[in-house]
Amino acid sequence: MAPSADSIPAPAVQSAGVIGIGSLPNQRHKIVAKKGANFTLMVAGESGLGKTTLINTLFSTDIKPYQNPRTRHNPQPTRTTHISISRAHLSERDFTLNLTVIDTPGFGDFVSNKNAWSPIAEFLDDQHESYMRQEQQPMREGRVDMRVHACLYFIRPTGHTLRPIDIQAMKALGTRVNLIPIIAKADTIGAQDLEIFKERIRNVIRAQNISIFDPPENTDGSPFLPPPYALIASTQTHQTPSGPVLGRQYLWGIAEVENPLHCDFVHLRSLILRTHMLDLILATEETHYESYRRSQMEIRKFGESKARRTADNPKFREEEEALRKRFTEQVKVEENRFRSWEQRLIQERDRLNKDLEVAHASVKALESELEAMTLGAGSGRSTGRSLVR
């Protein structure tokens, strides 16, 4: 009797190894290698913390050219004043990475830095919006995908704790993008203080429920260094007995960028470019883009343009609040005006009533006077008649 399909033992099929699916990863690799991978990285945070410098350190190239021609030979980054986008194609062993880097202006340049991060949040939303709109078109080839896969958020190395503006900004950005907290200028803080600072930041992130990118454990099951990552950024190389190193020169020696004993630069570079790039891309697609798409589907009809998300856009929330306040004040002013007008009207009525009463009284008095006169005259005439008779 021929065996039924059900009776074929499954392990025999799996172990035969003749189907060829084992070579799929190689094919996949070829496809990806041919097209190249797209990856978009953003930096954000307070002004002057080394965001632009880090971009150039991270990719060992002046991806973000220093804009001031006078400083070209003494490369010092100029202040970033607007969101700027740079692109580079990095190749390594037949593999191309289409890299987009988004540099953002730092916060802290204004007296009030409330909601200074909202243009960045809007930019992130706009990229999701643009991708969603392109998805809805009949022709989807040539889509431009600028969704941001990771945002390095720079924290000032105060050694204390996260500042309120950082908490606010991280809360808003963390729901839109894979947020990776960075302690900037780690060469300016001692190793022991740095560890305490890191722990405090982790505690605040937990307590404030800030959503950050939590790197899944390595493929070998070993845990990855947890964020925040302390960084030293520099594009300058210095000579040491063991060869040239990237770093910052001090009287006491060199703070080395790529030395894991000096900072977490190597860990971060490995996380972004080697071990967790795919996790970042998938989390962007499955978590952040999906959450944006779902929230938009709930509040608008098909084809309708982007609605202002007043509920989570503090700028609009503030404007709305100010408008409501102005309206309430205006109503109060009008109410007061109406009350005093009503009061005046009542006073006028009372005055007129009084006048009326006085007029009434004088009419009454005149009437009684007239009556008395009439009576007086009447009695006088009858006397006269009797006299005539």
The β-bridge relationship of strands 243-250 and 253-256 is: antiparallel
| Cα 248 off chain centre by | 33
The count of residues interacting with ligand GTP (CB under 6 A) is: 19
CB half-sphere exposure, 134, CA atoms < 13 A: 14
Taking the C-alpha atoms of 277, 274, 209 and 205 in order, what is their torsion angle to the nearest 10 degrees? -150
Asked if 62 and 55 count as a contact pair (C-beta separation under 8 A), the reply is no
**Is residue 50 at the binding interface for ligand GTP, with CB under 6 A as the rule?**
yes
Using CB under 6 A, pick the residue from 52, 100, 127, 313 that binds ligand GTP: 52
Select the span of 3-11, 74-82, 275-283, 330-338 touching ligand GTP (CB under 6 A). 74-82
**Is residue 187 at the binding interface for ligand GTP, with CB under 6 A as the rule?**
yes
- CA 160/CA 203 separation, integer angstroms: 12
Select the span of 45-53, 166-174, 199-207, 272-280 touching ligand GTP (CB under 6 A). 45-53
- CA 154/CA 120 separation, integer angstroms: 14
- CA 140/CA 145 separation, integer angstroms: 11
Degrees (nearest 5) of the Cα angle 132, 216, 22? 80
Which residues in the 282-341 window bind ligand GTP by CB under 6 A? none
Q: How far is the CB of 158 from Mg ion (least distance, A)?
A: 20
Using CB under 6 A, pick the residue from 39, 42, 105, 272 that binds ligand GTP: 105
Taking the C-alpha atoms of 232, 238, 239 and 240 in order, what is their torsion angle to the nearest 10 degrees? -20
Rg (CA), the chain: 40
* Residue nearer to ligand GTP on the CB measure, 66 or 289: 66
**Is residue 80 at the binding interface for Mg ion, with CB under 5 A as the rule?**
yes
Using CB under 6 A, pick the residue from 27, 60, 76, 368 that binds ligand GTP: 76
Select the span of 131-139, 174-182, 185-193, 264-272 touching ligand GTP (CB under 6 A). 185-193
Asked if 248 and 232 count as a contact pair (C-beta separation under 8 A), the reply is yes
Which residues in the 48-67 window bind Mg ion by CB under 5 A? 51-52
105 binding partner (options Mg ion, ligand GTP, none; Cβ < 5 to 8 Å by kind): ligand GTP
Using CB under 6 A, pick the residue from 36, 38, 48, 295 that binds ligand GTP: 48
Select the span of 182-190, 221-229, 344-352, 354-362 touching ligand GTP (CB under 6 A). 182-190
**Is residue 256 at the binding interface for ligand GTP, with CB under 6 A as the rule?**
no
Sorted by sequence, the CB contacts under 8 Å of residue 217 that are 6+ apart come out as 223, 224
* Residue nearer to Mg ion on the CB measure, 102 or 210: 102
Which residues in this chain contact ligand GTP in the complex, by CB under 6 A? 47-53, 76-77, 79-80, 105-106, 185, 187-188, 232-233, 248
